[in-house]
Amino acid sequence: MSDFLSKERITAGANYNRWLVPPAALAVHLSIGMAYGFSVFWKPLGNAIMGADGKPVAACAAGATNFSEKIAGTARALFATDCNWTQFDLGWMYTLFFVLLGCSAAVWGGWLERAGPRKAGVVATLCWCGGLLISAYGVYAHQLWLMWLGSGFIGGIGLGLGYISPVSTLIKWFPDKRGMATGMAIMGFGGGAMIGSPLATMLMKHFATPASVGVWQTFIVLALIYAIFMLAGSLGYRVPPTNWQPAGWTPPSQKGNGMIATNHVHLNKAHKTPQFWLLWIVLCMNVSACIGIIGAAAPMLQETFGGALIGQPELGFADIKKDEALTTAAAAVGAGFVGLISLFNIFGRIGWATSSDKLGRKQTYFIFFVLGALLYCAAAYLAGYKGLALFVGSFCIIASMYGGGFATIPAYLADMFGTQFVGAIHGRLLTAWSTAGILGPVVVNYMHDTRLEAGVPFDQIYAPIFVTLACLLAVGFVANLLVKPVAPQNFMTTEELAEEKRIAHEQSIQAGKAVVASEAESHPILVKLAWAAVLIPIAFGIWITLQKAWVLFS
């Protein structure tokens, strides 16, 4: 089995069709991307235990009025079987997802480069799908700690390995289209919830009974579906031989582009360069400025526009809260807004990353920071002006740049540090994502709650928040401005590079010479089938999302 998963077994011939690799990466990323959609389970799990009267029993943290009491309630909920879980209890699993994603990618990134994407993909499959099965038992036995362990901890490790497993491979297969290649795969991570959330909702509805909310059965079915997709994707990974290049491509050294390195920086030296930490700040600020507000998208729209969302502009959000029917109608519009943001997040990943191949990575991030700051300032004005259409449009563009930032950063790293260790370096840089996942929501939620407690009207709460987020983007702008090419002394020598390639079991068909692919594409039918296998689920997700988003325009 070890030989079957080894890097030697997946080194392709010179004329292998590289377009078979992106759908393999998409199959993995669409599966682990369901991490974004786990919130669909919170309410059913919060009603998992029913009393004799047919109503949900009280939560373990019932009556908690402050943070310390909530923590105490969560501690009891970890092992209790006689009380329900709150969103606060379950939300820690979501936090674990992204903390473990960054940590596991950083810790095992170097191993991945040497072991190859197939072995890493299979391990990611075992962790993600095995974690779902452990969580299924946790729901069945009503043990919260098993859910944290299964999906949160073990599944989080699978997220990290699955997320970075195709990055280095795709960049090496597409040296002429680095941004587009990574954008295609990382688009799948953003789109996973778009497919998985409605599928999970359908499954829970199918399995629900008076005695069960249908969540543990749904976890088992999802684990089986994702195992098939992730194994197919992982086994579909191939790596190009050393010195491989596509037909008709001119290496960047012949174009005189100083921002694209022609040599390689070792993993152990990359984090000692100022470029690594500047790019860490660039990613952290871009994500921090977006993730908090995207996470609060639905309530933000409802609080800011109130009755304008349902054709009654004279009503504020405080008025709507008093009427259940109005609350439901406004919530439907908020859900449509979330769906629209999800679409722009997904297509921004492929759109902006592809554009960066022409614009350059540094220029693309300049657009993110300048345009993003302007849109946040405009949103502060539009919130007071009640310009709903322009407000929604502003956040759709912001969401596209949020996704675009994730998809562009691997190519930016390859430009700076070369491709030999780009997957592992990317893994370490993802600690910026873990940091931003805490920083962004804390800034937004703290400012929101503070202003709400101060009695600020709902429609005036967010303007200062938008300005603060624009300031975070300004910090990112300065960091990006300071990025320069890596100093020559940081690159590996020819002998050091050759030794690393030997350790990584890289093979060359013609040692010392460029292996140029022919222009004739091999396996054309297989390519179409592979793309159909991932595009059909994506089309399903887009259709469901558009139906929800249509509420904004109807």
- Going from the C-alpha of 429 to that of each of 237, 329, 453, the distances in angstroms are 23, 42, 37
The pLDDT of residue 328: 79
The pLDDT of residue 255: 53
Q: How far apart are CA 258 and CA 483, in angstroms?
A: 12
The pLDDT of residue 252: 64
* Strand, coil or helix: 50: strand
Q: How far apart are CA 233 and CA 220, in angstroms?
A: 20
The pLDDT of residue 511: 47
- Within 10 Å of residue 427's Cβ, how many Cβ atoms? 31
The pLDDT of residue 15: 79
- Judge whether 440 and 290 are in contact, CB under 8 Å: yes
Residue type, 458: F
- Judge whether 541 and 26 are in contact, CB under 8 Å: no
| Fold (topology level) of 2-57+69-250+271-481+508-552 | Growth Hormone; Chain: A; (1.20.1250)
Q: pTM for this structure?
A: 0.87
Cα 362-368-371 angle, rounded to 5 deg: 130
The pLDDT of residue 211: 82
Q: How far apart are CA 460 and CA 302, in angstroms?
A: 12
The pLDDT of residue 427: 93
The pLDDT of residue 256: 53
Three-state SS string over 273-306 comes to: CHHHHHHHHHHHHHHHHHHHHHHCHHHHHHHHHH
Q: Return the closest-CA partner of residue 50 out of 213, 214, 207.
A: 213
DSSP string covering 323-358? -HHHHHHHHHHHHHHHHHHHHHHHHHHHHHHHHHHH
Q: How far apart are CA 159 and CA 29, in angstroms?
A: 9
Cα-atom radius of gyration of the chain, to the nearest Å?
24
pLDDT tens for 214-271 read: 999 999 999 999 999 999 999 999 999 887 888 877 776 545 556 888 899 999 999 9
The pLDDT of residue 185: 81
DSSP state for residue 55 in the 8-state scheme = S
Q: Consecutive 10-residue runs of the chain (554 residues): their mean pLDDT?
A: 77 86 95 88 86 80 75 87 85 84 91 91 97 96 94 94 91 91 87 89 90 92 97 94 81 64 92 96 95 82 87 85 82 82 91 94 97 95 86 94 94 93 93 88 86 88 94 97 94 90 70 52 85 94 87 71
The pLDDT of residue 132: 97
Q: Return the closest-CA partner of residue 531 out of 24, 150, 60.
A: 24
Q: How far apart are CA 447 and CA 450, in angstroms?
A: 5
- Judge whether 343 and 542 are in contact, CB under 8 Å: yes
- Going from the C-alpha of 345 to that of each of 104, 256, 295, 404, the distances in angstroms are 24, 33, 12, 8
Q: Where along the chain do its domains lie?
A: 2-57+69-250+271-481+508-552
The pLDDT of residue 257: 59
Q: How far apart are CA 477 and CA 282, in angstroms?
A: 7
- Within 10 Å of residue 338's Cβ, how many Cβ atoms? 18
The pLDDT of residue 291: 87
DSSP state for residue 484 in the 8-state scheme = -
Q: How far apart are CA 554 and CA 550, in angstroms?
A: 6
- Judge whether 345 and 193 are in contact, CB under 8 Å: no
